[in-house]
């Protein structure tokens, strides 16, 4: 019995020493594992349909590198089914945050419920969704498309002052997508009850240059008196302008051209007088996305909606020739 006492004391001292060491290391030692963890973000991009989209992908990838975020990038090639697959793979991989640029508004309930069950927050970027339970996503970062449609109409009202009749053709974006829906309704809301403005034809060009050209060719064959082309994005506008020129008409003169995005190609045509108005929609959302994703990864709340600052470029500006390079 007596011989065991020193051994017990020694063991006790050892345990005390270890406990002390543990607390010392905790205070001054390396950061806790949770703080050192590099956030992993799974980004489901919807496709590569336009220069805007390509610029958006490039910007998100660069912003992730700047922010020290590990990015898993999946491009769905314009198919919602592929976005479902990407999200499910992010869940299997146990990413910290899912960033989703949804191609259309409907159909996300099931897959977002799966993300919720896995405890992974979802950040919407670029486009919005229509969903019964809005708590299935944490927030949205992207443009105010309704305002873009309104800005397009405000330009037209100014440009058309003194015109007795304004026949408009509209080439719209992907059916069921937020920008296509809201750019159409914002435009109509602002033109309002003024009967001079008549939208004589509206067709979807799926945000693709090739379909912009094809649609415009058909429109020119079918209608004689077109005063305005309102096109939902620059890619389709560039295609439509090709068709207008092939028909022997002068874009910007014979037909007023209003477009949305602000790609370099469209700004160049504004400078040449072939486009009359470019409503800016910036794809440079990467830094904003990374900032919000990092906050979500830390378990913080984020604003429900974040819009970037945007402007309108038009022939009414004094300094059109001095618009700096756009970067997309
Ligand atoms: O205007 C278009 C792209 O969702 C805002 O999608 C985006 C739109 C953009 O293809 O060029």
- 147 class by beta-carbon count within 10 Å (0-12 exposed, 13-18 middle, 19+ buried): middle
Distance, in Å, from the CA atom of 146 to the CA atom of 179, rounded to the nearest integer, reads 8
Q: 318 with 173, same domain?
A: yes
Whether 318 and 177 map to the same domain: the answer is yes
Q: Rounded mean pLDDT of 241-261?
A: 98
In this predicted model, what pLDDT tens digit does every residue of 155-194 receive, in sequence order? 999 999 999 999 999 999 999 999 999 999 999 999 998 9
Q: Are residues 129 and 222 in the same domain?
A: no
User: Counting atoms of ligand 1 from 1, which one is nearest the CA of 127?
Assistant: 4
* Same structural domain, 60 and 124: yes
Residue 307 lies in a domain: no
User: Would 18 be classed as within a structural domain?
Assistant: no
Predicted confidence at residue 54, as pLDDT, reads 98
| In a domain? residue 260 | yes
DSSP string for residues in 68-109: T-EEEEEE-TT-HHHHHHHHHHHHHHT-SEEEE--SSSS--H
Number of domains in the chain: 2
Provide the pLDDT for residue 19.
61
Tens digits of residue pLDDT in 300-310:
999 999 999 99
- Contact of 38 with 31, CB cutoff 8 Å: no
> Does any domain span residue 188?
yes
With a Cβ cut-off of 6 Å, ligand 1 is lined by 49-50, 52-53, 126-127, 143, 179, 207, 233, 235, 260-261, 281
- Residues 220, 156: one domain? yes
CA–centroid distance, residue 174 to ligand 1 (Å): 9
Clarify whether residues 45 and 133 are in a common domain: yes
Q: What is the per-residue pLDDT across 110-129, written as a single tens digit (0 to 9) for each?
A: 999 999 999 999 999 999 99
Q: What is the model's pLDDT at position 193?
A: 84
How far apart (Å, rounded) are the C-alpha atoms in residues 63 and 289? 8
Looking at the chain, list the stretches that DSSP marks H as alpha helix, in order from N- to C-terminal side: 4-28, 33-36, 51-67, 80-93, 109-117, 145-159, 178-191, 209-222, 234-246, 264-271, 286-297
Instruction: Give 53 Cα–ligand 1 centroid separation in angstroms.
Output: 6
pLDDT of residue 5: 62
Is residue 179 located within the same domain as residue 318?
yes
20 inside domain: no
317 and 188 fall within a common domain: yes
> What Rg, from alpha-carbon coordinates, does the chain have?
27
Same domain, 167 and 136: no
CA distances from 183 to 27, 115, 219 (A): 55, 30, 20
Closest ligand 1 atom to residue 177 Cα is 4
pLDDT in tens, 33-51: 455 589 999 999 999 999 9
Domain of residue 246, residue span = 145-281+313-322
Q: Which of 126, 237, 308 to mutate to test the pocket of ligand 1 (most atoms within 8 A of CB)?
A: 126
Give the total residue count for the chain.
328
Residue 30 maps to a domain: no
- Read off φ and ψ for residue 282, nearest 5 degrees: -85, 135
Residue 318's SS3 state is coil
Give, for ligand 1, the residue of 204, 233, 240, 307 to mutate: max count of ligand atoms closer than 8 Å to Cβ. Answer: 233
In a domain, 6, yes or no: no
Verify that 317 and 179 share a domain, yes or no: yes
Residues 84 and 123 in one domain: yes
Hey, which of 261, 264, 266, 285 would you mutate to test ligand 1's pocket, going by the most ligand atoms within 8 Å of its Cβ? Answer: 261
How many Å lie between the centroid of ligand 1 and the Cα of residue 176?
13
Instruction: Assign 30 a pLDDT band (cuts: 50, 70, 90).
Output: very low
Q: Are residues 166 and 249 in the same domain?
A: yes
Full-model pTM: 0.89
Q: Is residue 7 part of a domain?
A: no
> What CATH code is carried by the domain that includes residue 85?
3.40.50.2300
For 37, residues 6+ apart whose C-beta sits below 8 A from its C-beta are none
Mean pLDDT of the chain: 93
């Amino acid at each position: 019995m007596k011989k065991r006492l020193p051994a017990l004391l020694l063991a006790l001292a050892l345990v005390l020493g270890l406990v002390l060491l543990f607390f010392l290391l905790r205070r001054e030692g390396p950061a806790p594992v949770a703080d050192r963890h590099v956030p992993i973000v799974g980004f489901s991009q919807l496709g590569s349909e336009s220069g805007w989209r390509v610029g958006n992908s490039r910007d998100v990838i660069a912003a992730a590198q700047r922010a020290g975020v590990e990015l898993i990038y999946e491009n769905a090639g314009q198919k919602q089914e592929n976005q479902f697959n990407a999200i499910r793979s992010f869940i299997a991989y146990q990413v910290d945050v899912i960033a989703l640029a949804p191609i259309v508004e409907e159909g996300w309930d099931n897959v977002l419920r799966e993300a919720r069950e896995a405890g992974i927050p979802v950040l919407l970027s670029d486009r919005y969704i229509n969903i019964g339970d809005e708590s299935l996503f944490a927030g949205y970062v992207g443009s105010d498309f309704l305002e873009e449609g309104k800005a397009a109409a405000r330009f037209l009202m100014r440009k058309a002052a003194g015109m007795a009749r304004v026949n408009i053709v509209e080439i719209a974006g992907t059916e069921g997508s937020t920008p296509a829906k809201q750019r159409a309704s914002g435009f109509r809301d602002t033109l309002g009850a003024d009967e001079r403005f008549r939208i004589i034809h509206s067709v979807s060009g799926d945000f693709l240059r090739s379909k912009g050209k094809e649609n415009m060719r058909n429109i020119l064959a079918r209608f004689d008196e077109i005063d305005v082309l309102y096109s939902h994005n620059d890619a389709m506008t560039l295609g439509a302008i090709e068709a207008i020129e092939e028909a022997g008409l002068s874009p910007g003169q014979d037909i007023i051209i209003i477009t949305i995005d602000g790609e370099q190609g469209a700004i160049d045509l504004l400078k040449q007088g072939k486009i009359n108005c470019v409503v800016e929609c910036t794809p440079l959302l990467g830094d904003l996305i990374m900032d919000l994703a990092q906050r979500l990864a830390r378990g913080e709340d984020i604003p429900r909606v974040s819009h970037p600052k945007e402007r309108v470029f038009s022939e009414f500006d004094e300094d059109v020739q001095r618009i700096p390079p756009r970067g997309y």
